[in-house]
Chain A
Amino acid sequence: MQEASEPLRHSLSRLHTWVGLVLGGVLFAIFWMGTLSVFDREIDRWMMPPTRLAPAPVVSLDAAARAVAAMAPGAAQWSMTLPSARTPTLQVRLPGGADGSVLHHLDPVTFAELHPAPTRGGTGFIFPFHFMLHIDWLDLGLWIVGLCGMAMLLLTVSGVVIHKRIFRDFFMFRPGKASTRSLLDLHTGMGVLALPFHVVMPLSGLIIFFSLFFPGTWQAAFDGERAAFNREVFGSYQRPKANAPAELGSLDAMAREAERLWQGGKPFLVRVTNAGDAASVVEVRRSHTQDVSMNRDAVYFDAGTGAVLQRFESKPIGALQRFIAGIHFVQFEQWLLRWLYFAAGLAGCVMIATGFWFWLESRRAEHAREGRVGVRLVEALATGSVTGIIVATLAFLIANRCLPADSHAFGLDRERLEMLAFYAVWLLTFGHAGLRQRAAWREQNAVIAPLAVVAVALNWLTTGDYPWRAWGRGVVSVAAMDGVILLLGAVAAVVARRWLARAAVARPRALGLARAVPSSGEG
């Protein structure tokens, strides 16, 4: 049995190493952005100061509809997302812009439009980066992330099999031992600590996009009819225009009827299609803030009469898919679990980073002796991927607080300039890592610490919201954001200092070794 399992373990070990090396950088980016996405709406509050409102009471939908009609008379389609504990504004989406629609934030009490400086924020930049890397072309970003999701599953399974004593090793962290030993301990510890998370997150992320990754399945079952698939699986409903004018009925009454049908479930989104037409439809979607499942429950009303046209609820297997999606999206309002997700995400980041470091440290001497470029290449990519993306994220936040509201440069508007700051700094960190090699880890950590302080200070200077003031006026999300950024800076400072100390010890040792070993010329 032992003999039979050794070749398998050896094969899986090679697989673990190579998949980790090739895709580790992208995986870290996905994990980092996914971890931040747990608090994407809180990041929105930080990046959009005018939306930092205290939680507001439920709005009157009819009054909101009148405000929307005043903002965009004649809009054929519009939707509004109701305020929640995490997003205190009334978010109205109207036709327009390059993407086909523009998001407006309204005060849920006065319906006055709020005007945050243009930014994609957490929900528009960080969250999409997590699942599609902002590569739209042919859905390539989604496919790359899907590939990384499968890779993560492979890495987790192979990682469990190749560690003979994985659970015993979990309780062994030997920071005083050789650096490779302690790095492997940390890698194993973080992997085991959040093992269910490392399995569930990639699998649930893949299952969310099942129709994209396995289109042949629905095409076979639905004979290629996309509209029928959308209607039966996702509950979409459409009807042709009547080309006769009609008034919008009471949205409040429709919301009440939906609540009655859902036996107390609350609506969170109202969408009006073919507005002003006699065949206009109002879609009311059920909130999932109180459930793990991200249900697709919706009621479709005739916009004029308020009569129910269709009610959709997922069947058992569809509901299971929505439950799995809900585990991944973490949209339920449960703060302890949200922080645990955040911690597990960070554990994943540490696991990937220590995997890189273990590989580098265990091969550094050998590659240097043999003149191989492997360590140099991997070190540059790993440094840029790990510390580089953290530096870039801070640059993104700082750009948000520095750029004037009407900024335009290089043909880019403000929100794209923020993104440019992110990508330009990220690219620079790769260049820096290529030049400075091992020292780049320490230097980029040393940069993270002051950048974190600058980001928090800029938030204070530009909005007046220093952490305890934000906390005091009920904007806990901003205070927590500041706290996490400062903590990140402190951890980076400690890591940089430890690296500096280690380098200071290593240098005389290396010099001593060089003197002890005679050069080839002397020998």
Chain B
Amino acid sequence: MRAFRVIFRVTLALGGGYAAAAVWSAALALWLRDSLGRAEATVLAAMLAFILFLLALLWITTTPRLARASIVALSVTLVGVGLSRWLSAGAWPTLAALGVGG
């Protein structure tokens, strides 16, 4: 049982942490592309993704309760997916629309 919990936690940290960082990075790139330009938005969002991934790895591997880590990782990822889809449909006010930046 202990081995299963360790393997699950490592998988959750790597897979869940990566997924959360990837979808939030995509969402950030979509949100910023109109104000910064898509090239700049992509590079900035992808660079920040590594920091997000590192924070996710640290939190998931050190948080005491595995169930809590799983729920939070899943929720954060799903919110990121939803946000990305919404932004790609142009439903979210971008920085440019708010009068900030380009």
For the complex, is B66 an interface residue (Cβ under 8 Å from A)? no
Known contacts A150-B54, A150-B57; A316 and B40 CB within 8 A of each other: yes
Stretch of A4-12, A115-123, A397-405, A448-456 contacting B (4+ beta carbons < 8 Å): A4-12
Residues A221 and B58 in contact, CB atoms below 8 Å apart: no
For the complex, is B90 an interface residue (Cβ under 8 Å from A)? no
* B 47-78 to A, binary, CB cutoff 8 A, 1 in contact else 0: 10110011001100110100000000000000
Residues B50 and A221 in contact, CB atoms below 8 Å apart: no
Q: Which residues on B sit within 8 Å (CB–CB) of A457?
A: none
Task: Compute how far the CA of A444 lies from the CA of B93 in the bound complex, rounded to whole angstroms.
Answer: 63
Residues B38 and A232 in contact, CB atoms below 8 Å apart: yes
How many inter-chain residue pairs (CB < 8 Å) link A and B? 98
Task: Compute how far the CA of A374 lies from the CA of B61 in the bound complex, rounded to whole angstroms.
Answer: 23
Task: Compute how far the CA of A217 lies from the CA of B47 in the bound complex, rounded to whole angstroms.
Answer: 10
Among B33, B36, B43, B57: residue with most chain A CB under 10 A? B43
Residues A218 and B62 in contact, CB atoms below 8 Å apart: no
Known contacts A222-B38, A233-B39, A316-B40; A210 and B46 CB within 8 A of each other: yes
Told that A214-B49, A221-B29, A315-B37 touch, could you supply 15 new A-B pairs with CB distance under 8 A?
A: A12-B62, A153-B54, A157-B54, A210-B43, A210-B49, A214-B22, A214-B46, A216-B26, A217-B29, A220-B84, A221-B26, A233-B42, A233-B43, A317-B43, A318-B39
For the complex, is B41 an interface residue (Cβ under 8 Å from A)? yes
For the complex, is B95 an interface residue (Cβ under 8 Å from A)? no
For the complex, is A387 an interface residue (Cβ under 8 Å from B)? no
Which residues of chain B have a CB within 8 Å of any CB of chain A? 14, 21-23, 25-30, 33, 36-47, 49-50, 53-54, 57-58, 61-62, 64, 84, 88
Task: Compute how far the CA of A316 lies from the CA of B43 in the bound complex, rounded to whole angstroms.
Answer: 10
Task: Compute how far the CA of A337 lies from the CA of B72 in the bound complex, rounded to whole angstroms.
Answer: 44
| A216: contacting residue among B25, B38, B39, B43, CB under 8 A | B25
For the complex, is A331 an interface residue (Cβ under 8 Å from B)? no
Known contacts A7-B64, A154-B57; A220 and B36 CB within 8 A of each other: no
Q: Which residues on B sit within 8 Å (CB–CB) of A318?
A: 39-40, 43
A-B contact pairs, 5 of them (CB 8 A): A221-B33, A221-B41, A221-B45, A229-B42, A320-B43
Q: Which residues on B sit within 8 Å (CB–CB) of A447?
A: none
| A220: contacting residue among B39, B64, B88, CB under 8 A | B88
Task: Compute how far the CA of A154 lies from the CA of B10 in the bound complex, rounded to whole angstroms.
Answer: 13
Which residues of chain A from 436 to 474 have a CB within 8 Å of any chain B CB? none
* Smallest beta-carbon distance A154→chain B, Å: 6
For the complex, is A354 an interface residue (Cβ under 8 Å from B)? no
* Smallest beta-carbon distance A358→chain B, Å: 21
Top 5 A-B residue pairs of the complex, sorted by shortest distance between their CB atoms: A210-B46, A220-B26, A11-B62, A232-B39, A221-B29
For the complex, is A495 an interface residue (Cβ under 8 Å from B)? no
**For residue B46, which residue of chain A has the nearest CB?**
A210
Q: Which residues on B sit within 8 Å (CB–CB) of A317?
A: 36, 40, 43-44
Q: Which residues on A sit within 8 Å (CB–CB) of B49?
A: 210, 213-214, 217
Residues B25 and A214 in contact, CB atoms below 8 Å apart: yes
Residues A217 and B54 in contact, CB atoms below 8 Å apart: no
**For residue B26, which residue of chain A has the nearest CB?**
A220
Residues B61 and A15 in contact, CB atoms below 8 Å apart: yes
Q: Which residues on A sit within 8 Å (CB–CB) of B37?
A: 232, 315
**For residue B50, which residue of chain A has the nearest CB?**
A206
For the complex, is A207 an interface residue (Cβ under 8 Å from B)? yes
**For residue A153, which residue of chain B has the nearest CB?**
B54
| A207: contacting residue among B38, B47, B58, CB under 8 A | B47
